[in-house]
Structure 1
Amino acid sequence: MKIVAVLETDCFAGGGFNQALNAIVQMQRICRDRFDFGVTTNLFKNVDYLAELGIKAELHKYGFLDRMLPVIRKTWVGSRLATRMRLVGTFERSMEQKGIDLVYFVMPSATPGMLQHLNYMFTIWDLCHRDFPEFPEVRGNGVFQEREAMYRACLSPAFLVLTESRLGAEAAARRYGLDLDRTLAMPLSPASSISLTRSASLEEVMSANSLVPGYYFYPAQLWAHKNHVRVLDATAHLRNQGIVRQVVFAGGDKGLGEHLRKRVVALKLENQVRLLGFVPSDHMRGLYDGCAAVVMPTYFGPTNIPPLEAWSIGRPLIYSSHLAEQVGDAALLANPDDEISLARAMMDVLDPSVARSLVEKGVLRLRQIEEQRHEAEQELLVKLQTFEKRRQCWN
């Protein structure tokens, strides 16, 4: 059986790319000596980047019909017309010519809407456009409507839908009528880029960014839902209490940068806050290593990658209270709407005994999640073997 993974986000997209890359590496491992597995991408820069990681990827550019088919098939009439005319896009035709049996979309994508014949696996990262529709990144410019249309069109026909948690699977079933037995909760894993072998030293990273160890660290792109504002408010509150620590934000600007810089000035935090922007992947481990604690009061979930990375490197974690299921007792929880709650956690984590306890609990929690991931991978293998058997029933 031949499986192909489709990568549609570029290698500088931050956490989204890391999640997709982890999914590719995982499937590559599962398929080894069992199934033929390949990778295709519509972005040339990904081909070179993946090659550096030892992953061969083929480039495929979507044609006009590829882009139009999902639009055409949004209506009953359009779908019937596409079927009667046997419209097949260049992407699907290419995959069929190569003998591909199953297409694996490693990130949320409307592309499955173009597939007329091929079976596919779909990935859900989150459904936070439904949980927090007030945030501009999921509210504005038709994003909410696009996501709704994508999920309604692409989930039910999928052979399998992978979610990052049980909560994600249950939400998809509740909101889109998805059968739970067509879902698989696959826990996230830390980005491979934070491994020691791929990372610059702590000294190099501190020097390159003019930092001194002991800061609070938030690794996240500058989106409104990441709630950087609350970290600034909590930092100002701590300063007024006589506790002065640097705060370091690392992540690309998604339109929030100017708002945050104005907030920094208004709170008189110019000497405490560093916005590093998008940083090289080999600097991420050093930034984790140098921090007193990872602070992540995000609204979106139910799971995120930075907690896993904090635990894997041995750093204490402060996390949003409504996302407690991911972290258990391995984080100090704070209300993301309340800077006082967050400031209290940021103060408490400076106690060496508290920090040490969180690190120890983080190791245990990470081990639990790794065990859950191993079980999910075994279940995924069984489902792929089942699909292979059923695929033998047609030519």
Structure 2
Amino acid sequence: MRVGILTLSSQDSGGVYQYTITLLESFSKYLKDKYEFIQIKNTSFPKMLDNCIEIKHSKSNFNLKIRRLIHTFTGIKLGDILENYNHPEIENTDLIISPSITLLPYHMKKPYIVTIHDFQQEYYPEFFTLKERISRKIVYKTGQKANVVVCESEYVKKDIIKFLKVPEKKIFVIPSPPPLYIQHKKLEEHKYEEYRLKYDLPNRYLFYPAQFWYHKNHINLIKAIKLLEDKYGETINLILVGSKKNNFDNVMKEIQNLGLQNQVKYLGYVPDEDMPYLYKLSTALVMPTLFESVSIPIWEAFYLGVPVVSSNVCALPEQVGNAGLLFDPYNIEDMAEKIYKIWIDEELRKTLVRKGYERIKDFTLENYAKEWEKIMRGVLYNE
């Protein structure tokens, strides 16, 4: 079987990029002797498979985009909409896998599997421009035509049925395991102090790794940090990492307005190899997001033995289970109360760490590859 894998996300796309990396790693490590994989990449995605095709898009190719949209809506094919994809390696594939939603699999005229990560535009349209909302509405049609749709939670599965009317039998829930750099990182205790000094980390802190989108809810978290000081007399440090997106300036201003410059620190870009140390040195991971299908940092925290205090929205209660504390991300007092509880209670933290490990122990790359192999064979061989 020849399987083409579309790797079209960029590093600043966050979770989707990491999801794609993990998928490729699992296939390369556990399935490469059974199947011939072909990576179909854009110019920004790294080459990860030996058999790799790089597709170069022209930014000015407006007509190509228009033809794709017309074909999606009407079924009328205006010329060759796959001008840049007429490669013999692609023509000879038996199956296309798209780890993120895109129109391309539909136009390739091959059986295909697509992953849908969320329907945030349906719940928070105000977070998207009109152009983005229209684009998502069109692109998500790919899911309706897919042979199989993969998602990472029952919450998203219900949304796929609700918004796309995809039959339940075509949807498979396969959570992605923690990234390889987390799973295979051997932490050396004598280096903990080295990393603490490198990033000038306080002795205790909450850790929040997230891009600065509005829905990541940094501002309510910062207000909760202030409330903890005012109401509980507890000075809690917060370490932030993540790309500077559309809410970054507002977050920095709020830190200044509340006088929290000495408690809240933004580290900027942190290399993957350093991230496990930032987790392990923290007192807890905090996840205050307003919308999340599945949180990769929560899996990472469970794997590394870090307690979790999280928002109770979307799929997060399903993901966290009994292995973390949950709060209402709109309720600053509730957020502060749950943070305070995990901050002061060492026995609670130890209990949550044990439960987190139980949640994550079977989430291995090998098991992940096996689940994907089942659905690939189901598409091609009706097994």
TM-score (norm. length: structure 2):
0.89
Residue 9 of structure 1 and its aligned partner are, at CA, apart by: 1.6
Distance 2:2 2:138 in 1: 29
Structure 1 residues 300 and 45, CA gap change in structure 2 (3 angstroms): same
1:166 to 2:154 alignment: yes
1:71-110 alignment to 2 at 5 Å? 71-76=69-74, 79-82=75-78, 87-94=80-87, 99-110=92-103
* 1:66-112, Cα deviation, whole Å (9 max, x unpaired): 54442231332xx2244xx6x35134421566511211111222333
Task: Determine the structure 2 residue equivalent to 1:58.
Answer: 53
Structure 1 residues 367 and 249, CA gap change in structure 2 (3 angstroms): same
Task: Determine the structure 1 residue equivalent to 2:18.
Answer: 18
C-alpha contact 2:112 2:148 (8 A) present in aligned 1: yes
Task: Determine the structure 1 residue equivalent to 2:377.
Answer: 385
Output the aligned Cα RMSD. Answer: 2.5
1:1-395 alignment to 2 at 5 Å? 1-29=1-29, 31-44=31-44, 46-47=46-47, 50=48, 57-62=52-57, 64=61, 67-76=65-74, 79-82=75-78, 87-94=80-87, 99-115=92-108, 117-134=109-126, 136=127, 139-152=128-141, 154-195=142-183, 197=185, 201-240=191-230, 241-322=232-313, 323-350=316-343, 351-367=345-361, 370=363, 374=367, 377-389=369-381
C-alpha contact 2:70 2:76 (8 A) present in aligned 1: no
C-alpha contact 2:31 2:369 (8 A) present in aligned 1: no
For 1:156, what is the secondary structure of its paired residue?
Answer: helix
Distance 1:143 1:72 in 2: 17
TM-score (norm. length: structure 1):
0.87
Length, aligned pairs only: 373
For 2:129, what is the secondary structure of its paired residue?
Answer: helix
C-alpha contact 1:69 1:113 (8 A) present in aligned 2: no
Residue 277 of structure 1 and its aligned partner are, at CA, apart by: 2.1
* 1:334-361, Cα deviation, whole Å (9 max, x unpaired): 1100111111111111210111111111
Residue 118 of structure 1 and its aligned partner are, at CA, apart by: 2.1
* 1:193-229, Cα deviation, whole Å (9 max, x unpaired): 2245477943333222111231000011111101111
Structure 1 residues 67 and 204, CA gap change in structure 2 (3 angstroms): farther
Structure 2: tracts of 5 or more residues without a match: none
Distance 2:106 2:64 in 1: 9
Structure 1 residues 95 and 344, CA gap change in structure 2 (3 angstroms): farther
Identity of aligned residues (%): 24
Structure 1: tracts of 5 or more residues without a match: 391-395
C-alpha contact 1:293 1:318 (8 A) present in aligned 2: yes
Residue 312 of structure 1 and its aligned partner are, at CA, apart by: 0.5
